[in-house]
A and B are shown apart, each in its own frame.
Chain A
Amino acid sequence: MIAQFLLSALLLAMLAYALVAARRTRVLAALIGLAAMAGLYFVWSPQSANQLAHAVGIGRGADLVFYIWVVLSMLVALNLHLRLKAQSELATQLARALALLEARGNNDRESD
């Protein structure tokens, strides 16, 4: 029971993360949200997890939940990567604006 509460807390946190991320990357946030909800369902309904696991050729329901967790982690890592890319783009725009401003100043000084 302790593990179920612990996992639920983590999956709820993931769900909250998906809601926050939805403003930036809808597709990824939807995937994270779906995976988190599936995880919650299986944590509290292990029998369903077992049945589904057997149906898709995975030995145990616990393994299925573990795999969902791995997928979730990868999606979160991907989302962080995309956020880093966005930050990098901002830094590029700033650096470019600075470089062009400096170049214009140098050219103006040379033409004086």
Chain B
Amino acid sequence: MKASNVWVIVPVFNEADVVADVIRRVQAQGYQVVCVDDGSTDSSAQVARMAGASLVVHPANLGQGAAIQTGIDFALGRGADLVCTFDADGQHDAGDLPILVAALASQRADFALGSRFLGNAIDLPPAREALLRAAIAFTRLTTGLKVTDTHNGVRAMTRRAAACIHLRHNRMAHASEILTQIRRSRLRMVEVPVTIRYTEYSLRKGQRSSSAIRVLADLAAGLMRS
């Protein structure tokens, strides 16, 4: 399989300061990059295009889950063999992507999920770690999957697995929804150690602790709806 048939989805919302560097680091692995600009009010879209990424622009801010689903649809439409997701805020290590991609083949998996708790979480604030640990316990309880991490933006999936994903949660609850759909579709999932480096920028841009309540409310509403 050629690296150029691997598409990496980078959802972008007001990341003009860092997105070009992120795109270059992913492209250095030989992969195709599609940035889904989620209604940014800064110059993120122009910066992403100048950096050489394919660009899909949402007409309004819909949320990261919506952006990832748009990226999946785009990548599948372009004939991707493998699809990855990667956050735009610069906290991930692009060098982890080939490890995730290799894990799909070597472990015959449909999904390879990055785990910061199997790898490294550099400068992870204690409060954020406590919240993540609680989210992992909740995810294990509700999905039955023995995951060691959740809400980690680095993932790789086969074309078949990507076609099984239909995200309805537009915002942050999509991370739990992906796990639920992996279980429902009986996809084979493996976890791979990855590194996340927390910076002042990524902490400012990332989820707040109060987001957890919103995620829970979204998941509960999703259950009522189904």
Number of chain B residues whose Cβ lies closer than 8 Å to a Cβ of chain A: 20
Question: CA A21 – CA B70 in complex, angstroms?
Answer: 31
| Chain B binding surface SS class | mixed
Chain B residues near A95 (CB, 8 Å)? Answer: 58-60, 62, 66
Evaluate contact between B58 and A99: CB separation under 8 angstroms: yes
Evaluate contact between B221 and A99: CB separation under 8 angstroms: no
Evaluate contact between A99 and B77: CB separation under 8 angstroms: no
Tell me the minimal C-beta distance from A31 to chain B in angstroms. 11
Residue of chain A at shortest CB distance from B218: A85
Tell me the minimal C-beta distance from B102 to chain A in angstroms. 29
Evaluate contact between A100 and B224: CB separation under 8 angstroms: no
Interface residues of B in 49-95 (CB under 8 A from A): 54-60, 62, 66, 69-70, 73-74, 77
Evaluate contact between A99 and B70: CB separation under 8 angstroms: yes
Chain A residues near B170 (CB, 8 Å)? Answer: 88, 92
Interface-facing stretch out of A1-9, A33-41, A56-64, A102-110: A102-110
Interface residues of B in 25-44 (CB under 8 A from A): 36
Mind listing 25 A-B residue pairs with CB under 8 Å? A25-B225, A27-B224, A78-B224, A81-B221, A85-B221, A86-B225, A92-B62, A95-B59, A95-B60, A95-B62, A96-B58, A96-B69, A96-B70, A96-B73, A98-B59, A99-B36, A99-B58, A99-B70, A103-B54, A103-B55, A103-B56, A103-B57, A104-B77, A106-B55, A107-B54
- A92-B66, A95-B58, A103-B56 known, 12 other contacts, Cβ within 8 Å: A28-B224, A85-B221, A92-B170, A98-B59, A99-B36, A99-B57, A99-B59, A100-B77, A103-B54, A104-B77, A106-B55, A107-B54
Residues on B facing A (Cβ under 8 Å): 36, 54-60, 62, 66, 69-70, 73-74, 77, 168, 170, 221, 224-225
